[in-house]
Structure 1
Amino acid sequence: MKRLVSLCYLQLCLFCAPAFADTSLWLSVQPGTAEPGKFAAEEIRREAKAQGMTLSDDTKATRVALTIERDGNAAAESYTIRVQKEGDCRIITVRGADATGTMYGGLDIAEAIRTGTFDSLKDSDHRPHIAQRGLKFNIPLDLRTPSYTDCSDAAQANIPEMWKREFWTAYLDSMARHRYNVLSLWSLHPFPSLVKVPEFPEVALDDVWRTRAKLDDTFSFAGTDMVRPAMLADHEVVKRITIDEKIEFWRWVMQQAANRGIRVYFFTWNVFTFGAEGKHGITNDLSNQITKRYFRASVREMVKTYPLLAGMGITAGEGMPEKMDSKAKEAWLWDTYGEGVRDALKDEPKREFNMIHRFHWTAQSDILDAFQNYPGPFEFSFKYSVAHMYSITKPPFIQPLLENLAPGRKTWLTVRNDDIYTFRFGDPAYAREYILNMPPADKLAGFYMGPDGYVWGRDFLERHSDPGPRPLVMEKQWYSFMLWGRLAYDPSLPDSHFEKVLAARHPTAESAQIFRALQGASQVMPLTTRFFWGDIDLKWYPEACWGHPRSKSRGFHTVRHFMEGSSMPGANVLCIRDWRARLVACQPMAGTTPLEIADALDGAAAKTFTALDTLRQPAKQDIELQKTVNDCESLAWLGRYYASKIRGACALALFDVNGDKFEHDAALRHLEDAVTHWKRYAAIRDAHYVPALYNRVGYVDVTALTEKVTADLDIARDWKPGTLKDDGKRSGTEKGFRN
């Protein structure tokens, strides 16, 4: 007891609400826990206050101690919770292996108070399943230094938000609560907005610009025209700020991140010189020696200017010719990024600065040859599910890499979510299985999750009438972010845990039904995408049955596209042509059939609608629950749309082979049902969300697409048997997709 009392540098004696058997709480925080420990203490304090706790000097108080017990053998960010009785006093001790581990343990205590499980806490040991759990954020810094996402409505709206302290405070706090410890910020060329380079003084940019020019869907997929002259000519200054103030701001952001146990990386595509081109002789030409010197100096200043920057990620494209010899690409990257880091570390030889090299249009052997003298940790990165994390839980694309990964090397997973921009996701079973199927620890460095087609900043999709700032996407989709972050740290968390969290969030509704509604609605995207596969985001956006108008899909995916399309590699799902061939030949179905996918979609929708029936009344008094109900209902109708469309495509494919009027009539009947379901989907979706321009799929207006949906009936009515194209291709990925 004396040791415990000696740790009580910060003491809070609180009277507990009647919901708890323990009537008071005494919280102590060991100073060595630093800012992460203080944050956890504030979270405990906040949850205690929300439960009606008041100050008390009750000697029988439950005592909670947040401590560090450094152990060289303990995993980073691990912690233990120990519960014991000493007389009439209950003592709960959190011991972290480091400050972040202590913070996570303290957040567990706060959550237990919130969910009403504080009295039932027991001894437990915790260590991260995935060591590095991150978010991928294409950051819209400025008109002049864009990310890949900047030619979109969401990115343009978010440019001012990137320079607000309140945005990053809320963002980083949410990351910590959900157990993310890596923030990767992606930009085509961020240096002019972040650093001063003495040799190139004209490059550094004051102020923050945004264009007033109307954007469209004609931007290059390679990012080469992301800053057009017309955009610069018609711009607005959204923030007056000097480059020195920008540097101070981003140092503050990185300190705030460190205070939450979060490491920050900047990722670049190459070679782009937005914001610098034309100054000092800088161009995009890889053979331009001035450009090489500029990049090397910019990297040096990036490392020196930001002591808390954990590392950088680099790409051999898209500003490099795809067919350029990879040895030449890697030589350029080493001469700029590699040598730039070495220059910076000459004054700080003990500093660890990570380099992450993405597998993209280059060869592993050439990468390793070029970077053999890199002075720090060097890892790879691979696009794990291409663009669709909501497809299957064990994507096959990484297997050849794992088999040939150089000994001792690890790779990060880029987990791309270009499936769900609008709606709330909530299927812990899917997330848990996906995480457990990730490569083993000896080959896995970690993952970062995020979209290319949308910006996870503030949400600008939802129709908004409140006078205050819009919520963060992470706040709106809190349940999804919680599932992926918490399960990545501890995949053994049971579904019952998340039901308790939902119950605390929505106390007037049945948490089991909220859980079922979210889970059922969240099955729609994976079921559909594993059946109809478009590997990169611009080819398949399932919220709208859409692909970029300039991609091979040519916009809306018709019933013909569904008949001629392929299923996802590794999904063990038959496409319609394979299914038809086996059916006609009386062969067994070696995989899930299209009609079984349709049945599963209908089942997910039915599960969702049944759960929603019990939620509609309590949702009238709970605004967030009402929004969740709207999202789930939208996805359920979308699931029914895809189920009917798949059935219609199957029937039309049979009519194509046998000319049977029964199949033709069935196709029309199913496609008429699809139109009805789409209209219900569009009505609910667009009552709450706006049409939007996305950088990778163009402008999407779900209600306007009803005309395209209805046109499937005309395709079916006019169908001539024997006209279904079959090129023999069943599944596979397109070469050259962006990793």
Structure 2
Amino acid sequence: MKVLLKSISMVLITMVAFSCQPKSNTISIFVEEGIKEKVAFGLNQFETFLIESGNQTIITNSKETAQVILELKNSGSSDDDSFTITNQNNVITISSSHKRGVFYGLQDITEQLKSGESWKDISGKAVDAHYKFRAIKFNLPWFSYRSGENLALHYDTCKDLKFWESFLNMMAENKFNVLSLWNLHPYMFMVQSEKFPKARPFSDEEMKEWQSFFKTIFKMAKDRGIETYIFNWNIFVSKEFGEAYNIGEYSKDSGFWGEGETNALLEEYTREMVSKTINEYENLTGIGITLGERMGGMTSEERRDWINRTMIAALKEANREVKLFYRAPLSAGLSSHGTVSKSTEILTREAIESIDMEDDVYLGFKYNWSHGHSSPKLSIVHGGILTDTYWNPKPKNYKGVYTVRNEDFFALRWAQPDFIRNYLSNNSQDYIGGAIIGSETYIPAKDYITKEEHRTWDYAFERQWLFYKVWGNLLYNNSISDDYFINSLEEKFNIEDATELLNAWKLGSMNANRVASFHRGTWDATLYTEGFTTIGGKFIDINKFINHPVLDSSYVNIKDFVAGKFKEEQITPIELANITEKESNEALAFVKSFKENHQDNKLLQIELNDIEAWGHYGLYFADKIHGGTFLETYRKFGKDGAQFKAVKHLEQAADHWKVYTETMERYNVSEMPYQFDPKFSWRKHIADAENDVSIAKQD
């Protein structure tokens, strides 16, 4: 059986276990003198395993006696984690410009051995990193951007360093190399102001605990080759600062929407806190800034100038250089609403090009706003459609990074490597340096979705293990084949052949992408795909469904289709419904067969249940399209039989929603907190699905 790793440390362990060497053999490893400390994390785990297995290791000073050689090469790029493997005379050499590349090379060797290759047949290869910046967006539950039970319930889990050790191991395994931590004002949890002592929210003892917490996370990340960034939303201060100096009173209740204050005291406090954080946290890699929230009432020039006087000035004043992530302005006007303009793009480009940084600045955009798992084609960013100002002419000191947000599925598992490949094919221009994966309204820490009696894992991110695996590994190597993920499924569930299982995941997961491409979402609440809801947690009824615009121009909405306002090359609603129905039925047929053949595999049954749920969801979507199309046809042309057909399809859709609900409740809680509906449930929307039938009958 093919087996993949569960952590970077296991790479070294497994390599020996399958090296065809007898027990009590001494494995000789040569590590260049200058990199022993850098790769100590993996080597320590390796030696522990060998001792427990009755074997020994020698870290030799002689390449001539080594069976494994690890080396770092000087390529002039400190963040290049590509790697090469050579095999000469049964001596394996792994070479990279970064210690991550060494880890990844060891992973590759292990996978070859696990797939049946002998030590002497290990293939030499060179693998180039597709994106150099492969990040996870992680919102911290304290002083969070949004508030609610769905975020607050993660507090204890996120204060537990065991959680972070597990999460960072997952990141390293899946080749994510940046952890970005977000909240409104992270600096007050990391340093105490000397200039403004009344601004301190914590006692000295409490501050020591917070500092130890963050320093430990940053050190664990560095050991695993993971960079760390902290992101804020700019004009926020501690509640104590606001009370003491009568400034930024909105910080008391985390009110992120509205006008920001720009007085000299607040700016001095911000500069101090940022530079002090950089100075005191030697393992912190970078700072992320946001030109948006609490900058209402400010022009684009005023926002830029505030950033320059505070954040950029603090970076210059610090006693060491860190990297900078500069989020593109979220608003081109005076309000906090999302807007874009060419003049703001010109202004932002000039601002970034004037920053003298050792490393390239990362310029961030929200990919398809808050719904990155929609279309593999870029349609909008936060605020609308960009011009080519940022990229023409080619930038010299910055790279673009897309934040691929997920506000669309939290309970349902998702895995669609073909979608990611298409995304990469469309968004890998030489000016794009990477991607950030994550959500604003969901923290992958405490699992509050799975029923307790069915949960055999510790943390929420482990539910979505395949989501992270497909994203992380493809961001690193966009040419990696499906075999890699098939092997992972076979190891996870102890099954012989997972080829069709991966295909079923693809078929089911595409329903999320199709819905979010067909029904245009913008900010977070405008579309919650798995719940089929919009702003206020309101169910998307048939009237809104018919008239709402599409996100991806490859599609046409129902209203325009019936009116004949579409292009020949566009995918019609009927074509979309037909392919959705076909592939959903294929996924359901597979699940039925596979469930019967693996009845004793509980973990597999739970995940098959999600594919089944996606299948019923897809059938609901398909019948709703058919129903909406017939209903709009009846309304516009009064055709005989169209209303009857609309009612029939919407009745079928309601039945599919009922089965979808039952499937979701099989292993998950019946009610869960969601950011825009604190008591969300699929069951309460059965009445809404049935109401579509009533709407059609009333016409």
Conserved 8 A contact 1:384-1:395: yes
Deviation at 1:404, TM superposition (A): 3.8
Change (3 A) 1:99 1:16: closer
Q: Counterpart of 2:62?
A: none
Q: Counterpart of 2:446?
A: 458
1:315-354 aligned at under 5 Å gives the runs 315-321=290-296, 323-345=297-319, 348=320, 351-354=321-324
1:565 lines up with 2:548 in the alignment: yes
Partners in 2 of 1:466 and 1:511 — Cα distance?
A: 23
**Equivalent residue letter for 1:320:** M
1:148 lines up with 2:149 in the alignment: no
Q: Counterpart of 2:174?
A: 178
The CA deviation string for residues 508-557 of structure 1, in whole angstroms up to 9 with x for no partner, is: 353112212211111111112211112222111110110122xxxx7110
1:226-305 aligned at under 5 Å gives the runs 242-284=206-248, 286-305=261-280
SS at match of 2:414: coil
TM-score (norm 2): 0.85
Q: Counterpart of 2:629?
A: 650
| Of 30-39 and 254-263, the range deviating more from structure 2 | 30-39
**Equivalent residue letter for 1:358:** A
Deviation at 1:327, TM superposition (A): 1.0
1:400 lines up with 2:379 in the alignment: no
1:42-61 aligned at under 5 Å gives the runs 55=55
1:138-217 aligned at under 5 Å gives the runs 138-140=139-141, 142=142, 146-153=143-150, 155-206=151-202
Deviation at 1:242, TM superposition (A): 1.3
Conserved 8 A contact 1:44-1:106: no
1:356 lines up with 2:326 in the alignment: yes
Partners in 2 of 1:205 and 1:499 — Cα distance?
A: 50
Change (3 A) 1:688 1:27: farther
TM-score (norm 1): 0.81
Q: Counterpart of 1:579?
A: 561
**Equivalent residue letter for 1:151:** G
SS at match of 1:705: helix
Deviation at 1:16, TM superposition (A): 4.9
1:479-518 aligned at under 5 Å gives the runs 479-508=466-495, 510-518=497-505
Q: Counterpart of 1:134?
A: 135
The CA deviation string for residues 564-604 of structure 1, in whole angstroms up to 9 with x for no partner, is: 1111143x101111211129xxx874410101111121122
**Equivalent residue letter for 1:356:** Y
**Equivalent residue letter for 2:74:** D
Partners in 2 of 1:547 and 1:698 — Cα distance?
A: 14
Conserved 8 A contact 2:82-2:96: yes
Conserved 8 A contact 1:182-1:264: yes
Deviation at 1:717, TM superposition (A): 0.5
Q: Counterpart of 1:70?
A: 73
**Equivalent residue letter for 2:471:** W
1:427 lines up with 2:416 in the alignment: yes
Q: CA RMSD in A?
A: 3.0
| Of 286-295 and 181-190, the range deviating more from structure 2 | 286-295
Deviation at 1:355, TM superposition (A): 4.2
Partners in 1 of 2:463 and 2:414 — Cα distance?
A: 11
1:689 lines up with 2:662 in the alignment: no
Conserved 8 A contact 2:72-2:99: no
Change (3 A) 1:266 1:352: closer
Deviation at 1:618, TM superposition (A): 5.1
Partners in 1 of 2:172 and 2:578 — Cα distance?
A: 39
Q: Counterpart of 2:506?
A: 519
Conserved 8 A contact 2:328-2:348: no
Conserved 8 A contact 2:420-2:474: yes
Deviation at 1:64, TM superposition (A): 5.1
Q: Counterpart of 2:341?
A: none
| Of 324-333 and 538-547, the range deviating more from structure 2 | 324-333
SS at match of 1:603: helix
**Equivalent residue letter for 2:529:** P
Partners in 1 of 2:170 and 2:214 — Cα distance?
A: 18
Q: Counterpart of 1:381?
A: 364
Q: Counterpart of 1:417?
A: 406
Identity between Structure 1 and Structure 2 (%): 23
1:668 lines up with 2:642 in the alignment: no
**Equivalent residue letter for 2:571:** T
Partners in 2 of 1:300 and 1:242 — Cα distance?
A: 21
Conserved 8 A contact 1:48-1:113: no
The CA deviation string for residues 238-297 of structure 1, in whole angstroms up to 9 with x for no partner, is: xx9610221122111111111111111111113223434434305225233221221111
Change (3 A) 1:325 1:12: closer
Conserved 8 A contact 2:527-2:533: yes
Q: Counterpart of 2:572?
A: 593
Alignment gaps of 5+ in structure 1: 1-10, 208-239, 720-739
SS at match of 1:83: strand
The CA deviation string for residues 206-248 of structure 1, in whole angstroms up to 9 with x for no partner, is: 38xxxxxxxxxxxxxxxxxxxxxxxxxxxxxxxx961022112
Partners in 1 of 2:246 and 2:310 — Cα distance?
A: 14
- The structure with the largest helix share of the pair is 2
The CA deviation string for residues 145-174 of structure 1, in whole angstroms up to 9 with x for no partner, is: x12243242x21111122211111111111
Conserved 8 A contact 1:651-1:664: yes
Partners in 1 of 2:317 and 2:15 — Cα distance?
A: 54
Conserved 8 A contact 1:286-1:332: no
Conserved 8 A contact 1:270-1:315: yes
1:64-143 aligned at under 5 Å gives the runs 65-72=68-75, 76-85=80-89, 90-117=90-117, 121-140=122-141, 142=142
Partners in 2 of 1:34 and 1:15 — Cα distance?
A: 19
Partners in 1 of 2:47 and 2:149 — Cα distance?
A: 40
The CA deviation string for residues 667-693 of structure 1, in whole angstroms up to 9 with x for no partner, is: 111011111111111111123223222
Change (3 A) 1:114 1:613: farther
Deviation at 1:707, TM superposition (A): 1.0
Partners in 1 of 2:453 and 2:28 — Cα distance?
A: 41
SS at match of 2:436: strand
**Equivalent residue letter for 2:599:** K
Change (3 A) 1:118 1:135: farther
Q: Counterpart of 1:444?
A: 432
Change (3 A) 1:46 1:671: farther
The CA deviation string for residues 685-721 of structure 1, in whole angstroms up to 9 with x for no partner, is: 12322322222565421111111111111111102xx
Conserved 8 A contact 2:15-2:110: no
| Of 683-692 and 405-414, the range deviating more from structure 2 | 405-414
Conserved 8 A contact 1:386-1:536: yes
Conserved 8 A contact 2:232-2:290: yes
Alignment gaps of 5+ in structure 2: 1-11, 58-64, 249-259, 333-343
Conserved 8 A contact 1:191-1:298: yes
Conserved 8 A contact 1:548-1:696: yes
**Equivalent residue letter for 2:449:** L
